[in-house]
Each structure stands twice: as structure tokens, then as C-alpha cells.
Amino acid sequence: MSPAMSLTAIGLVVAATIGIGLFGLRISRTTSDFYVASRAVTPRWNASAISGEYLSAASFLGVAGLVLVNGADMLWFSVGYTVGYLMLLVLIAAPLRRSGAYTLPDFAETRFESAPVRKICSCLVFGIGTLYLLPQLRGAGLALQTVTGAPTEVGAAVVAIIVVINVAAGGMRSITFVQAFQYWLKLTALATPIFVILIAWRSGDHPVGVLESLQGAGAEWAEPLSRAGGRDHPVYATYSLLLALCFGTMGLPHVLVRFYTNPDGRAARRTTVVVLALLGVFYLFPPVYAVLGRSFAPDLIGAGADTVVLELPGRIFPGTAGDLLGALVAAGAFAAFLSTSSGLTVAIAGVIDQDLLRNRLHRLTGGDYLAVNSFRIAALLAVAVPYLAFNLTGALSLADTVGLAFAVAASTFCPLLVLGIWWRKMSTVGAAAGLIVGGVAAITAVLVNVIGPPQGGWPKALIGQPAAWTMPLAFITVIVVSKLTPHKIPRGTARSMVRLHTPEAVDVDRGLSPLT
């Protein structure tokens, strides 16, 4: 692989990202611009931006790596990532928009009228965001290492710095344009090498012995639920993964905030349809890389499977053609790291700014500061913490780390949102208990995975894919505790329910209700 060409391509992506960010700077002036682009982005732009933001290092590099090692079962990652959007759309997108809350903590506060519940939500947003940012930084490190041989800290630092500058400078408006551009870049970068390979294969001037590698000793890899790669209890693991991805998407901070950038509920639905199509097209390609990888890069199965997408073009086409394709893929990978990290950073920074920073700054400076500056400091914090964590933690595969972030979201925000929107008898204590029990269970599983997972059997399966037990645990906790504390049902439940379930055009008060 030619470092010069790949570095040039990465440089161009970075330049374009910052360039569009600066262009956005001129139009984003108010706080509302920063958070949700003043709610005026058309469905097509928005769908490209949502897809651009959602397709992270885990999708671009991680899925292919997991399929390469563990075989067909890992295809459920791409199915789950996509179906999560459908769940979000039908179950909660419309009511949540109507609640008038910008963030998950906002929703918790309006619905449950409780500052402690809000604080728990803020901490969870920060935790889930950090867990999701971690693999983005790790992916960036791996990509730069593959291209230049630099240590992984360098790539991670590059992405961290660019994201902070971009978010602090432009906010959401410029992010929308940046991400829409990055979706198309990612799709092009992933698809082009595949088409070139297919053309070479059909014209017969290049030996592509793919099918041979799937027969004989390697055949088990292509079988579903085959335990290839040493994953025990495949049915449990698959169910748990599907649950985490289907119900976790609704609890991801950067995904939710995106639904507010639509002008109305109708546009939000249109946007989701386009998003599903865009994601579906994208996910056709990672499995192809994995299958080709079985033939052309079998050495990566042992270690470094996450780099298969980056390595493959150079292995199949040694020489200039491979260099060019490799540079394109590296550029696409950086687009993936940058777009997801930017979106996450905007969302997490929003929460840090509102819940942790602004009041303190206000006290420190005696009110002599701009709201936007607080947001900028929050953006710096939002990236600095995962960067430190990245330097401390070991090598969990990209898609697995992201899968765990989904599991935490599914065990905390999913019960809060689904029951909070649909169940009138949910009490404030029940909400808090569900968040704490689900959160502690899922985060414990994450930590065990990071520090040193069990070696095999049920313990490994249960800890590796915790959602199938942590999510029901959280739901049951909310329901039981709410039944036990009926006197703690929020006073404004009737009002919240009307607000959540009547269409937006109705002139009910959607402003944040002050704490009573």
C-alpha cells in the first residue's frame, strides 16, 4: 500500500470536512442552529446526513472484520443496525418530537418532573457516547497504522482534534452538510473496489479463487450458527444481539437529536424511509469484503480482522490500481470516523453543556459569558474522555464495542422511552430504578468484557451479549417499582400524555415545564 496516496486521500477528506464546517460557520449563529439546525433540513439532505452519521467505524470496518472471523452469524449486525431505525420510527419518533425535548435528559425531565432522573440520564448519555466514540478513535488509529505504520494513538488523536475543531466551530448546521457528503463518500469508497474486482473477475484476467476457499475445511465458516471463531451458544448470542441493536438505536444520543432537524412529523417519516434504503444499500458491501478476505487475507483472521477492508484492495491488485483503491477506502474510513464522532460529540456536548457546565460557568464568571462558549468547552470534554479511555483499554473488536453501546442503550433508555410514552402509571421512582438497574447490569457486563471476559460457555455468552437479560431486567424493574410506588406518579402525567400523543400542529404548550 502506498502511504503517500492514502495520506493525500485522507487529507482531502479532512480538508473537505473542515471546509464545509467553515462554510457552515457563517450560517449558524444562534443556539438553536447549533443544536438542531433550526429545524429546517429537507428529508433528503437529512436522510443522507443521518446515514452518514450512523455508518461508523463499526459499519465501515468492523462488520467485515467480524464476518471474516466468525462467519455468517455476524451478518445480523447489519440487519440489526438497519432495523433499529424502523423500531425508532414506529415506536417513539413521533411522540418524542412532540414532547418538545431536545435531548434524552430533556425528555426525562418533562415527563417525570424530576431533577435526579434527569441527572441519571445525562450520565448515561455521556457513558453511551463515550463507549461509542471509543471504537471510532480506535478505528482511526488502526486505519492510519495500516496506511503508514504509525502507532494507533496518532490516528486517534488526529480524528479527536479535527472533530473538536469542527464541532466547536460550526455546530449542527455545518455537521448536516458534512455528514450528507460523507455518506456518499463512504458508499463510493466501499463499493468501487468491489465493482473493480467483479469486473476483473468476469473478464478473467485475474484469478479470484473465492469459491474454493468456502469449500472443504473452510465450509463451516459459511454455515449459520456454526460457532466459527469460538462463539458459544450462537442462538442466544444472535437473539441477544438482535434485541440490543433493534431496541438500542432509539437510545443513542446522536440518533435521537437528528429527528429534531426535520421540520415536522411527516418529514421525519419520509426521512426514515430514505434512511432505510441508504443503509440497506451500504450494508450489501461489507460481507463481500469478508468473503474475499477469506481467500486473499486469511492471515488477518488471527489478528487485525478489523483492517480487512483497508488491506484487501492492495492484496488483490498489487501496484497502482491497488494503491488508488486503497487510498479511496482509507478516505472512506476516515469519513466514517469523522462523521460519527462529530454527530456523537454534538449530542454529548449538548448534554454536558446543559446539565453539567452552564450553571457552573455562570457562577464562575458571574453571567459574563456566551452560551455558545459553554458548548465549545463541552465539546472538548466530550472527546477528551474517550480519548483517554482509548489509551487505557485493550483491543476489543470495533463492531463488538459498538454492540455493547447498543446493549447499554437498550437496557436503559429503551424502557424509559417506551414505557414513558405509553404507560400512564409509570412512577418517577420506577423510572430511576429502571435506569439504575439496567444501566449498572449492562455497564458491568461492558467492563468485564473490557477488562477480561470469561473464557467460554454460558458466562462468556451472557457477558459478551448482555442485552437479552439486562433489557428485560430493566423493564421488569420499572414495572414492579412503579406498581409499588403509585404515589410517585408525576403530577403532570395527564398533560404529558396529551402533549406526546396529539399531533404537532395542535397548539398545546410544548415548552419545557419548570420543575415543580
Partner 1 sequence: MSDTRRAAGDPEMTTYRDVQLSPDFSELRRRFRRFVFPMTGLFLAWYFLYVLLADYAPGFMSTKIGGNINIALLLGLGQFVSTFAITLLYVRWADQKFDPDAKHLRDQIEGETQ
Tell me how long the chain is: 516
Question: Least separation, in Å, of the C-beta of 77 and partner 1?
Answer: 13
Q: Specify the residue, 89 or 328, whose C-beta has the smaller distance to partner 1.
A: 89
Out of 30, 42, 320, 502, point to the residue binding partner 1 (CB under 8 A): 502
Q: Specify the residue, 26 or 424, whose C-beta has the smaller distance to partner 1.
A: 424
User: Quick one: CA dihedral 466, 468, 471, 473, positive or negative?
Assistant: negative
Q: By CB under 8 A, is residue 486 in contact with partner 1? A: no
Q: Which residue has the cell 454492540?
A: 403
CB 384, CB 172: distance < 8 Å: no
- Cα separation of the two ends of the chain: 63
Binding-site string for partner 1 from residue 359 to residue 398, where x marks contact by CB under 8 A and - marks none:
----------------------------------------
Question: Least separation, in Å, of the C-beta of 228 and partner 1?
Answer: 14
Q: Specify the residue, 304 or 492, whose C-beta has the smaller distance to partner 1.
A: 492
Q: Which residue has the cell 473452510?
A: 218
Footprint (CB under 8 A) of partner 1, residues 92-131:
94
CB 153, CB 467: distance < 8 Å: no
Burial of 34 (0-12, 13-18, 19+ CB in 10 A): buried
CB-side neighbour CA atoms (13 Å) of 114: 20
- Which three-class secondary structure state does DSSP give residue 154? helix
DSSP for residue 340: H
Out of 11, 280, 318, 486, point to the residue binding partner 1 (CB under 8 A): 280
Out of 15, 151, 212, 224, point to the residue binding partner 1 (CB under 8 A): 224
Question: Least separation, in Å, of the C-beta of 181 and partner 1?
Answer: 25
Q: By CB under 8 A, is residue 270 in contact with partner 1? A: yes
Q: By CB under 8 A, is residue 276 in contact with partner 1? A: yes
Gap between the Cα atoms of 367 and 361, Å rounded: 8
Gap between the Cα atoms of 516 and 510, Å rounded: 16
Where does this chain touch partner 1 (CB under 8 A) — which range of 165-173, 349-357, 465-473, 504-512?
Answer: 504-512
CB 345, CB 169: distance < 8 Å: no
Q: Specify the residue, 91 or 371, whose C-beta has the smaller distance to partner 1.
A: 91
CB 390, CB 156: distance < 8 Å: yes
DSSP for residue 100: T
Out of 235, 370, 384, 447, point to the residue binding partner 1 (CB under 8 A): 235
Question: Least separation, in Å, of the C-beta of 155 and partner 1?
Answer: 34
Q: Specify the residue, 89 or 290, whose C-beta has the smaller distance to partner 1.
A: 89
Where does this chain touch partner 1 (CB under 8 A) — which range of 80-88, 285-293, 400-408, 443-451?
Answer: 80-88
Rg of the Cα atoms in the chain: 23
Gap between the Cα atoms of 97 and 258, Å rounded: 10
Q: By CB under 8 A, is residue 450 in contact with partner 1? A: no
Gap between the Cα atoms of 471 and 489, Å rounded: 22
Q: By CB under 8 A, is residue 214 in contact with partner 1? A: no
Out of 505, 511, 514, 515, point to the residue binding partner 1 (CB under 8 A): 505
Question: Least separation, in Å, of the C-beta of 366 and partner 1?
Answer: 36
Gap between the Cα atoms of 142 and 156, Å rounded: 9
Q: How many residues bind partner 1 (CB under 8 A)?
A: 41
CB-side neighbour CA atoms (13 Å) of 174: 23
Binding site for partner 1 (CB under 8 A): 76, 79, 82-83, 86-87, 89-91, 94, 223-225, 234-235, 238-239, 242, 246, 266, 269-270, 272-273, 276-277, 280, 422, 491, 494-495, 497-498, 501-503, 505-509
